Amino acid sequence: MDVFDELLRGVRGTGAVFGRSLLWPPWSLRFTDGAYLTLCMPLRGEGWIVPEGGEPLRVETGAAAVVRGPAPFCFTDRPSGGTGPGAGSGDGVREVRWRRGQDMAVAPDGSPELDCSTVLLAATYDVRTEVPQRLLRALPPALVVTDEEDCAPLRDYLEARMGGRRPGDQIVLDRLLDWMLVCTLRDWFDRPEADPPGWYGALGDEVAGPALRAMHEDPAYPWTTAELASRAGVSRTTLAKRFTELVGDGPVAYLADWRMTLAADLLTRPELTVAAVARRVGYADAFGFSAAFKRLRGESPSAYRRDALASGAVNAPAPVG
């Protein structure tokens, strides 16, 4: 199983709110919806992403920016000028709390659309589940990735479909946004300035990689270091040393943590008992699972479920194991 794919499975366009902004200078959009993740793509023109307390990042046509929330941020034409993040609401600043598929114009009255300097497509994702959060926690507050030229037709198609009325347009937009987000994150982790988590680099390692994939393919299986080492064709000592060097934890500790991550999401499904969750992540009984969950998560499974359901973080992941 591709671990990167699995971690991004919970970040889907079906949970996205997206919209298009037509922008004439001077302008500034302040995103205040508290989204966990925001994807910004200038379909025309350019601007600056200014994360709260961070340095401005230039985003040109052909680039994509990802901002990790929930802190507010700005997309602006002049990061240090009167329409930057410190500007007041009377200085051309528009606060953004989009509904799905909403168009927004920040322009002088009567300005034709063709004269606008920038067209921005943005999608916000409310990512509360634990599995994708493992990946998103490795992201900086904001990042920018220059797109490939062959993505230009896709950007044109996205703009053309915004506000469309054909059957299935909503699903098409959702899936295209998924594609753009995944490609942006994958390209970012391959850049030299990125700081990817240890498991990301370990995936391509001939020793640690097979062990990682085996644990993700069947997390409920009672894996031992010896069995995982046999997958890579090395000794237990060689696997343990190499895996720890790359990932930061040994294979058994990594597996226990990954099981608890899966369990945390499964616990948000009210139809599953704690005993059922325990079995899905490799524990024979609820008692042993509860003890492991509390040791690694700091609270009992029942307390975690109560808090998650109270916060509205309801999940419906695919069955595990």
CA distance linking residue 266 with residue 259, whole number of Å: 10
Rounded to 5 degrees, φ, ψ at 11 are: -100, 95
Among residues 250, 284, 277, the alpha carbon closest in space to that of 262 is found at: 277
Determine the pLDDT at residue 98.
47
**Would you state the CATH architecture of domain 200-311?**
Orthogonal Bundle (1.10)
Q: Mean pLDDT, 10 residues at a time, over the chain (321 residues)?
A: 64 56 77 84 88 88 87 85 50 50 50 63 79 82 77 66 62 76 83 82 90 93 96 95 95 95 93 95 95 95 90 52 40
Cα 117 to Cα 25, 42, 106, 257: the distances in Å are: 7, 10, 11, 48
By C-alpha distance, which of 198, 177, 179, 180 is closest to 189? 198
- CATH number belonging to the domain at 3-189, selected among 2.60.120.280, 3.30.70.1880, 3.30.70.2080, 1.10.10.920: 2.60.120.280
**Same CATH fold, 200-311 and 3-189?**
no
Q: Measured between alpha carbons, how far is 273 from 296 in angstroms, rounded to an integer? A: 20
Angle between the N-to-C axes of helices 225-232 and 236-247, in degrees from 0 to 180, rounded to the nearest 10 = 90
**pLDDT for res 164:** 58
**Cα–Cα distance between 295 and 312 in angstroms, integer?**
25
Q: What is the per-residue pLDDT for 121?
A: 82
Distance of CA 300 to the CA centre of its chain: 27
* Residue 86 pLDDT: 52
Instruction: Spell out the domain ranges in the chain.
Output: 3-189, 200-311
CA dist 277 to 50, 268, 283, 309, Å?
A: 42, 10, 9, 16
For position 45, what pLDDT does the model report?
Answer: 86
Cα–Cα distance for residue pair 161/167, rounded to 1 Å: 11
